Structure 1
Amino acid sequence: MGYCKALKNVLTLLFERSSLNKKFEKMIIDENEKKEGKDEKLITDLSECNLFLGGLTSLKLNSFCVRCLLKVALKKEEDEENQKEVEMALLALSCIKIYFNIERDLFLDEIKEIIQYHEKHHNLTRLAFQSIWQFLIILSFSTNYMVDVIVDEMNFVRETKRELEELTKRVDWKREKEAEKEEKERKEELVLKRWLRILEPFFVQCGLWNKECSGIVESIVQVFLESRDYDSEIGKECVRLFGAAAENGTVKLDALLKSGAIDAALEEIPKSTIKGKMTYYCLKFFQLISVCLKIKEIDEMEKAKRKTFKMEIFDKLEEEGYEDFIISFHGIFGFLGENFLIRLSLNISDYFVNT
């Protein structure tokens, strides 16, 4: 149940208040306090169940569960049974939420060892490798020095870009749609979605802009172009990430243009319907670009770049005849707000570049 919940990104509400959560806690404590005959496998299983289902416990017990699962994840054997155990432990750790009560600084060395060993020996499954990065991103939230380690020392951007490119090639996007209804979603697609989901919190907290981050956006564009006709959920996730990158300054606006993110969003708008969230995400993306362009320029060189960027966007819009099309969206803001609980400015000029 926990494995499927984690892969499908299903929420479990109020588990921490349940009697089952309390029973798990008691069993973990009782088993760990045994002086003889301690069942380490049982403790591991209970720790996984607790994290998979979203149990919130004491700082001490949370840290104990994490330490227990990291011990499993540090196993170096490469046989299939061990790989499965490691994957399960790391997938459980990736279910920890940002607000989880945990001693965040204590586990960085173990996480680095797991990632660095995999980079040399490729001992982890794709799901396990994605999960350890997700766990690290969660731990580093609002912890600036850990973000520095992730970006500079551990090359999160490089690894994510490589994984996105590999998974985009491996997924069979063009399989028959009729067959798609009958078969289960393939693991490659699920892992790809998980990579996309952890990029948003990374963009939010990463105050460091560098050229490599532009490379991630290029990879997201490729995912979007491959998936948009076959998996709308992945497409929406990609456009959301374009907006997050623009809003938080993770990449420069001209990099969004060069990467193809703006072209991709423009091409998608005519295909969207007001009953789907893609319309909202595309409009929100351009609204965020407009907000970024209104920020006071740092210097004359930046001002000149921004002016050039505005004109390039304007030319694209004019060339495609978007002016009347965008104005027509004015009548559906009420519908979007009512159905998707979102807020969009009624000032049309906020969506696109003010020239």
Structure 2
Amino acid sequence: MSLPNDASEDRMQMMTKTERFSKLFDELERCREDEQMQKMEEMNGLIDEMNEEELKSIFTIELFDKIHQIIEEKTLPLENALVLLKHVGYYRELKIIYLESFDYSLLRERMKEMIIDENEKKEEINEKILTDLCECYALLGEDDIFGEVLSIIVPCLLKVALKKDETEEAQKEVEMALLALGNIGYWVEKESYGNEIKEIIKYHQEHQNLTRLAYQSAWEFLIKRFHNYESLEEVFVNDLHFAREARREIEELKRDVDWKRKEETGKEAKELLIFRKWIYNIDNYFTSCKLWNEEVEKLLSSFVQMIREFRDNSKKVSNWCFFSITNAAENRNVKIDDLLKSGAVDAFSEEMKQSTLEDKIVYDCLYFFLNVSRRLNEKKDDEKKEAKRKSIKRKMFEWIEEGYEDVMTSFHAILPDLAEKSKFLQLSKYSSDYLWSL
């Protein structure tokens, strides 16, 4: 006969992850502090395995408000609550999950007050509590961060991120601080903290002292500011060599990721999540970049290569790359000639001829060719530029295999349906817009 606690454990195993999490959370108030930590370790393990839908269903405004309540009532010590909240923020940001519930909760406002109050203590300040509060606030929020709280959070986290200690514990602290900074890069002014983040990136390039996620996050802190301050691109391209570094990191991750692990365990490997974050940030760069050199050309070629490499064993990665190259084609600073030389035109043409295609990929392919077509059909006033445009169009004719026109025309009937499903962009309803004529 099973013992009572064995039966209880069996029932727990039969519950879904969200049900088990809710049960553990409800028990927190009735536990001693040491028992709370044990239960939170179990809760953190469940968070690691949750997908976006599960995480959103658990971490609602009501749950964040409840956490605020039990902190205020002192039934859950602040230090224990921060352990749980940091873990939620870590995986929310690592998995690129949009979680706006924190922004509308009582906990967000209370945490903001705690950051300001702790910072004002000066000599009596508890550095660990302040750092944990700043990390939670930065990792969990989606809304703007500005004013006094931003001026406290960024210096506090940079102080941690600048540590050169290479012990495992120190590396974890640096990783968490940089991950939090990466999430709030949008709200930081161009002139602020540029030297500190450059120092972190350059020191790593020389000494390899950061974890992969920490290094990626340092770049993210900069690249999110790049959208608002294009003058940063000179630093990106010629000083820090973003494209070269991103390409190297992706090539290393490709070798190290176990691409079948998720299918076998239902849990994404951390390396795969970092790989996706690199692609996400490179996509941001492709969308806005103006300086185009050999390093960026090679990065584009790597994306084309990944489309072919992952077409069979990881369609999701292949689709990410299709989307990024589609954005690159829309950016007029990306040369059509480079789209040809990189093999992008070939890869998109090959995909269009597949017998079964997801609507999203059909959309990306059509939008890619629409942008290329529009740019190639814009006549130039300068004779040399006009001659080059015609030369590239001839190359395009040679590059596209026979049957391209039939493929494009075959998609004409489904264009209204595709446009309806992708309202954020508009496809042309004329199939001739996707074709070329001299």
The alignment partner of 1:106 has SS state of coil
Match of residue 25 from structure 1: 112
Give the letter for the 2:95 counterpart.
Answer: K
Match of residue 38 from structure 1: 125
Deviations 1:35-74 (A, max 9, x none): 4431111111111111111153432211210111111110
Give the letter for the 1:16 counterpart.
Answer: D
Indicate whether 1:157 and 2:243 are aligned.
yes
Counterparts in 2 of 1:49-128, with a 5 A limit? 49-54=136-141, 55-96=143-184, 98=186, 100=187, 102-128=188-214
The alpha carbon displacement at 1:4 in A equals: 1.1
Give the letter for the 1:299 counterpart.
Answer: D
Q: Which moved more, 1:78-87 or 1:290-299?
A: 290-299
Deviations 1:78-129 (A, max 9, x none): 111111111111111111263x3x3331210000100010011100111111
Give the whole-Å Cα distance in 2 for the aligned partners of 1:97 and 1:90.
10
Q: Which moved more, 1:70-79 or 1:231-240?
A: 231-240
The alpha carbon displacement at 1:352 in A equals: 3.0
Paired residues of 2:135 and 2:180 also in contact (CA < 8 A): yes
Counterparts in 2 of 1:82-231, with a 5 A limit? 82-96=170-184, 98=186, 100=187, 102-173=188-259, 175=260, 180-231=263-314
Unaligned runs of 5+ in 2: 1-87
Q: TM-score, normalised by structure 2?
A: 0.75
Paired residues of 1:236 and 1:281 also in contact (CA < 8 A): no
Paired residues of 2:139 and 2:183 also in contact (CA < 8 A): yes
Aligned positions, number: 349
The alpha carbon displacement at 1:346 in A equals: 0.7
Match of residue 282 from structure 1: 365
The alignment partner of 2:352 has SS state of helix
The alignment partner of 2:100 has SS state of coil
Give the letter for the 1:122 counterpart.
Answer: Q
Q: Residues 39, 272 of structure 1: CA spacing in aligned structure 2 closer, same or farther, 3 A cutoff? A: farther
Q: Which moved more, 1:45-54 or 1:264-273?
A: 264-273
Paired residues of 1:213 and 1:251 also in contact (CA < 8 A): no
Q: Residues 140, 15 of structure 1: CA spacing in aligned structure 2 closer, same or farther, 3 A cutoff? A: same
Paired residues of 1:72 and 1:85 also in contact (CA < 8 A): yes
Give the whole-Å Cα distance in 2 for the aligned partners of 1:345 and 1:337.
9
Counterparts in 2 of 1:256-271, with a 5 A limit? 256-271=339-354
Bigger-Rg structure (1/2): 2
Give the whole-Å Cα distance in 1 for the aligned partners of 2:389 and 2:355.
29
Paired residues of 1:240 and 1:285 also in contact (CA < 8 A): no
Q: Which has the higher contact order (CA 8 A, sep 6+)?
A: 1
The alpha carbon displacement at 1:234 in A equals: 2.1
Give the whole-Å Cα distance in 1 for the aligned partners of 2:283 and 2:408.
27
Unaligned runs of 5+ in 1: none
The alpha carbon displacement at 1:273 in A equals: 4.4
Give the letter for the 1:200 counterpart.
Answer: D
CA RMSD in angstroms comes to: 2.0
The alignment partner of 2:192 has SS state of helix
Give the letter for the 2:340 counterpart.
Answer: L
Q: Residues 12, 65 of structure 1: CA spacing in aligned structure 2 closer, same or farther, 3 A cutoff? A: same
- Aligned-residue sequence identity (percent) comes to 46
Give the whole-Å Cα distance in 2 for the aligned partners of 1:188 and 1:10.
17
Paired residues of 1:203 and 1:250 also in contact (CA < 8 A): no
Match of residue 326 from structure 1: 408
Give the letter for the 1:84 counterpart.
Answer: K
The alpha carbon displacement at 1:142 in A equals: 2.7
The alpha carbon displacement at 1:192 in A equals: 1.6
The alpha carbon displacement at 1:171 in A equals: 2.6
Deviations 1:270-318 (A, max 9, x none): 337464311111111111111221233263333233223222322343x
Give the whole-Å Cα distance in 2 for the aligned partners of 1:49 and 1:272.
47
